[in-house]
Amino acid sequence: MNEAATNPACPVEYRRRGSKALLWLAVFAYVPFLIAHGLECWTQPAVDFPPLYSATKVVFDQHLSPYREHAFDEQALALGRPVPPYIYPPPSLLLFFPLHLVDYDTAKALMLVVNHLCLLGAIAFLFGRLFREEFLHASSQLTAALVIIYVLLFDPAVVTLHLGQVNFLLLICLAFMWHALKCNGKPLAIAIPLTLAIVIKTYPALLVLPLLLRKRYRAAGWTIGLFIVACAASYFLLPHAIWNDWIVNVLPTGAGVHPGPWNQNIRAFVGRAFMPNDFNQPLVAAPAVVKPLINLLTFAVVATTLWASVRCWRMPHSPRQIDILMSLYLFMIFLIAPVSWEHHFVYLLPSLVLVLLLLLEGTVHGRWRWITAFSLCLIAWKLPFQLPVLTSGIWTLLISIKFYPAVALWVFFVVQARRLSGVPPREQAAASNAKTSTLAVAAQPNRRAS
């Protein structure tokens, strides 16, 4: 009788059965997820989707600027509720062009379908491409199972689906760019998804810095060139007043504090602590220190990130180095951005999965084990940071409950980047090869006696 058929400890058979079990787990977990955050979500209002749809209708049907005052009055009247302003840069309207071709309900359903497809695509890409080696060398299938559970119980993903946000589109773009950079891919393979990410949210423009650190100058040049082309296309194809309106009416709002409880970055933390606002009482009413303190902390985060990563310029290409660099800069972007709503954690999913993989590999030591594990939980859980009891006194610090783990994981990647850049190239390659061999051996269960 064939040993693989009778002996489940055979490595190939073990992996095959494990893959089937993981597929069953993914389907079993995703079906209730789809019902709760797909079918039921479709019947609920998507708060952030009306601006996307309304902007395309105003631009492509009425040939007007969506950034002017009262631009969405007609759409608000039709929906029976106010429509928030559209704040994405003008080139993004070219991406959302198809929305204006259908009615609102159809466009909303289409956006929901696209978001679910992007979520499934992101899960498949994490397993099959971005962290393929890590999953292949994992000591057990429990690692992959925990990642599936973590992603499907990730509350920022749920919030994104219910709001009709575009974070999953951004996630896909960043994942493709990350993988191309990790595989030392061609410049255009890096530049195209990064340009799309910049067109969608603008903040990923800071990811040009890791390209420069890794001496991917052509990829950085292509990214800048493609973005200029996108800006030029939006200038000539869209109403000419659109860029002026965005610069005058939207761009200055980026300098605001935005202290709402949904914002979980440096600006919001400082604003809630020192500035009187509509959401909570400040710990100390000192509005004069708010902007200087925000600027100081932002500079400190950017400078520390550059300091931790600049030595990578001299290091040879390493997939793990790319993982650390990308994670470091993504967390930096989250902390210093003008707004970082809780659902923006979605574009940090690859970095969060990386932390989980490092924990399960046993490469996280000491106090960092419980700090990173607790941070992953706080970011993923649905937490009541909008409770009335949190609006005054020392309790206001709990409004920033998701800001603290973001800071902790940024510090974690700062430490990892410094350690990685401090290892001589030969020792780094030897350690990487030794680790791969150890994981490969651990992944093979012992054969039982025939």
Compute mean pLDDT per 10 residues along the chain, 450 residues long, and list them. Answer: 47 61 85 89 86 94 92 88 92 94 93 95 93 82 89 95 95 97 95 97 94 93 97 94 93 87 95 92 93 96 93 78 95 96 96 95 92 97 90 92 97 92 54 46 40
Determine the Cα–Cα distance for residues 219 and 212; give it in Å rounded to an integer: 9
Phi and psi of 290, rounded to 5°?
Answer: -65, -60
Tokens at 10, concatenated: 């055979």
Q: Note the pLDDT of residue 10.
A: 57
Nearest C-alpha neighbor of 44 from the set 163, 209, 140 = 163
Q: Residue 377's Cα: distance from chain center in Å? A: 16
CB 365 within 8 A of CB 352: no
Judge whether 445 and 14 are in contact, CB under 8 Å.
yes
Apex 416 CA angle, 124 and 403, nearest 5? 75
Q: How many CB atoms lie within 10 A of CB 236?
A: 8
Query: Would you say 156 and 343 are in contact if contact means Cβ atoms under 8 Å apart?
Result: yes
Query: In angstroms, rounded to a whole number, what is the distance separating the alpha carbons of residues 173 and 193?
Result: 5
Which candidate, 66, 61, 70, places its Cα nearest to that of 92? 66
Nearest alpha-carbon partner for 52 in 18, 11, 102: 102
Residue 263 — φ and ψ, nearest 5°?
Answer: -85, 125
| Residues found in the chain | 450
pLDDT at 21: 77
DSSP E strand boundaries for 170-229: none
The interaxial angle of helices 319-336 and 349-361, nearest 10 deg, is: 130
Three-class SS of residue 185? coil
Q: State whether residue 263 is helix, strand or coil.
A: strand
Contact 235, 369 (CB under 8 A): no
Rounded Cα distance, 239 and 245, in Å: 10
pLDDT at residue 15, as a whole number: 59
CA 118 – CA 378 distance, rounded (Å): 24
